[in-house]
Amino acid sequence: MLEAESLTKRFGAVVAVSDASFAIRPGAITGFLGPNGAGKSTMLRLFLGLVHPTSGSALIDGRPIHEWPAPSRKVGAVLDTQCVHPSRRAIDSVRWAAWLAGVPTSQAETLLDRVGLGAVAGQRTGKFSVGMRQRLALAIALVGDPEIVVLDEPMNGLDPEGIAWLKDLLRRFRDQGRTVLISSHLLAELEDLVDDLVVIARGEIIGSGSATAFIDRFQPQTISVLSDKPQPLGAAVIEAGGEVIETQGQRMEISGLTSIQLGEIARDAGIVLLGLTEERSLKKAFSEATAKMTDL
Ligand SMILES: Nc1ncnc2c1ncn2[C@@H]1O[C@H](COP(=O)(O)OP(=O)(O)OP(=O)(O)O)[C@@H](O)[C@H]1O
């Protein structure tokens, strides 16, 4: 388990992380979500021991990372894809990382195969594309066969195929029982991937926990419904305890009722439903949450 307790990091006058407390479930994929400059990278770096807290603690299984005898077996991280020397061959970069981590270098080829770089293992990395660099950085992060994998905005610069591949790999890590932490400022990148979320804005935690709970908290389910008699339907919805958020012609947006309840209400009132769509998205939840933050 990773735990932040009253974690604060200041850089001079800038408060990058402010009194953050949360826990990360082992064996799950947790997304660190927040706009640019929110403090996501700093938070990840605090766990990795690359920056020191001004106050509070960032602990991995109860200890700061530097207190673990073999940190690379505990955590592997991709923070920056410019982490290798451009004139070195891919295979040598992975071997070098393994050597530095004090683990056998014999796995380098297997690791490159695993990230889809087996065919270019002997090539110098200077001319590698962004996607290839991401894959190489991931191979390097995996040298210690870590329990926890941390990735800072890993989808930047990946094409759709690369993103699908990465998501698949991260899901497999989770299925193997590893813990995955991934940061992003783009909701769409995380929506179909993460189990849990830590949502950050201006260094503060807006919410943390299951992604579904976050959606429920900030954006209860809404239903977009198309009917032949919107006005009587609206009245029936309100009578049943629901809320009509918006009406546009025959289309209405409704909250506070399930689709089944809505169907029954319409049937009882003799109203035909021409279409019905449930909307529950992380995107809505996030914009709602950040709007609430701005209001504070
Ligand atoms: N080493 C540093 N020295 C000074 N200020 C820093 C340092 N690192 C981060 N900051 C500042 O801390 C704040 C949070 O930055 P951080 O990089 O953690 O945010 P982020 O959410 O990862 O953003 P991005 O998505 O843009 O990378 C920003 O205002 C940033 O300028």
Mutate to test the pocket of ligand 1, among 11, 32, 48, 187 (most ligand atoms within 8 A of CB): 11
Say how many Å lie between the CA of residue 136 and the centre of ligand 1: 24
Residue of higher predicted confidence among 213 and 116: 116
pLDDT, tens digit, for every residue of 52-82?
Answer: 999 999 999 999 999 998 888 899 988 876 6
pLDDT, tens digit, for every residue of 206-242?
Answer: 888 888 877 766 666 788 899 989 999 999 999 999 8
Residue 101 has phi, psi (to 5 degrees) of -80, -5
Say how many Å lie between the CA of residue 201 and the centre of ligand 1: 12
pLDDT score of 49: 93
User: In residues, how long is the chain?
Assistant: 296
Closest residue to atom 11 of ligand 1, CA basis? 16
pLDDT score of 180: 96
- Model confidence at 295, pLDDT cuts 50, 70, 90, reads very low
Say how many Å lie between the CA of residue 131 and the centre of ligand 1: 24
Is there an atom of ligand 1 within 6 Å of 9 CB?
A: no
Q: How many beta carbons lie within 10 A of that of residue 154, not counting itself?
A: 26
At residue 47, the 3 state secondary structure works out as helix
Is there an atom of ligand 1 within 6 Å of 193 CB?
A: no
pLDDT, tens digit, for every residue of 172-192?
Answer: 999 999 999 999 987 778 888
Is there an atom of ligand 1 within 6 Å of 34 CB?
A: yes
pLDDT score of 146: 93
- Model confidence at 296, pLDDT cuts 50, 70, 90, reads very low
Report all structural domains of the chain as residue ranges with CATH numbers, in order of start. 2-210 (3.40.50.300), 220-279 (3.30.70)
- Which ligand 1 atom sits closest to the C-alpha of 51? 1
Is there an atom of ligand 1 within 6 Å of 18 CB?
A: no
Buried b or exposed e, range 36-75, using 16+ CB within 10 angstroms: eebbbbbbbbbbbbebebeebebbbeeebbeeeeebbbbb
pLDDT, tens digit, for every residue of 147-173?
Answer: 999 999 988 878 888 899 999 999 999
Query: Which ipTM score applies to this complex?
Result: 0.92
Segment 261-265 mean pLDDT: 90
Closest residue to atom 24 of ligand 1, CA basis? 36
R_g of the chain, CA atoms, integer Å: 23
Is there an atom of ligand 1 within 6 Å of 112 CB?
A: no
Is there an atom of ligand 1 within 6 Å of 17 CB?
A: no
Mutate to test the pocket of ligand 1, among 40, 52, 189 (most ligand atoms within 8 A of CB): 40
